[in-house]
Amino acid sequence: MTVNFAHCFFEQSGVFRDEFKKLGIPANDYDLCDQVGETDWRGDLFAQIELSYSGKRSIIDRIKPDDLIIAFFPCTYFCGHNEMFFCGTNYNYRKFTKATVLDKIIERAQLRHEYYITLLKFCRVVEDRNLRAVIENPYNAHHYWRFNFPYKPAVIDMNRRLRGDFYKKPTQYLFINCSPAGKVSTQIDKPIEYVMEKEGIERSLISPDYAHNFICDHILGIDSGHTQPTLF
């Protein structure tokens, strides 16, 4: 696809933004935080989504149909590890009374619901405005979206290290109003690292090589420099 401008939602690292720019596509980062000094627009994206859904002015007004949103939507309440919280078996719950555990489960369920509703509203805005969007999240058999979301992943990357990333970290990508180009790059040149050994923002960092290869393979459909040849 051709992209006029790339809007990277919930990305404060600047990695995807910078790779879009290197490929000649203007891009901005939008996030609630700016821990590494790379966020172009810092503010409450959840509130902006709500404003747009309600028909009020928001930053989404600046996005056009020939642009692309790539949203790294917060996965905290959707990932498979939530089962331990909702079943009350999380290690940190061991010191709490049953009543306290139940209170914590209720609180977490409410937060998941809020995030889920916000995500659905974001999708509704994208559909109503005929915008193109790619939504990223971790992938596993117990991810909440698997049985509770109206969109299915168009791309599932089971081993991101094969495309130049630091981590294996299975990841799903949902495409709305667009489709992946379907090229395949192979770049295995990073030392093995493990997400579970990282803390904070380091857990979500992406290699620039991976971002470059993903954009070329699935967004633009061009040779990444590591693209595998096809028979046709």
- Give tens-digit pLDDT for 66-77: 999 999 999 999
Number of domains in the chain: 1
**Whether the Cβ atoms of residue 85 and residue 104 lie closer than 8 Å to each other:** yes
Residue 225 belongs to a domain = no
- Half-sphere CA count of 83, side-chain side, radius 13 A: 7
Range of the domain at 92: 6-220
Q: What is the mean pLDDT of residues 56-70?
A: 98
**Whether the Cβ atoms of residue 187 and residue 164 lie closer than 8 Å to each other:** yes
pLDDT confidence of residue 201: 59
Residue 28 pLDDT greater than 80, yes or no: yes
151-205 pLDDT, tens digit per residue, is: 999 999 999 999 999 999 999 999 999 999 999 999 999 888 766 555 555 666 8
Counting runs of H as helices and runs of E as strands, what totals does the chain give?
6, 7
Residue 228 belongs to a domain = no
Give Cα 159 to chain centroid, integer Å.
16
CB < 8 Å & 24+ apart, contacts of 57-63: 59/30, 60/125, 60/129, 60/131, 63/5, 63/7, 63/129, 63/131
Residue 229 belongs to a domain = no
Residue 19 belongs to a domain = yes
Residue 54 belongs to a domain = yes
Confidence of residue 21 (pLDDT cuts 50, 70, 90): very high
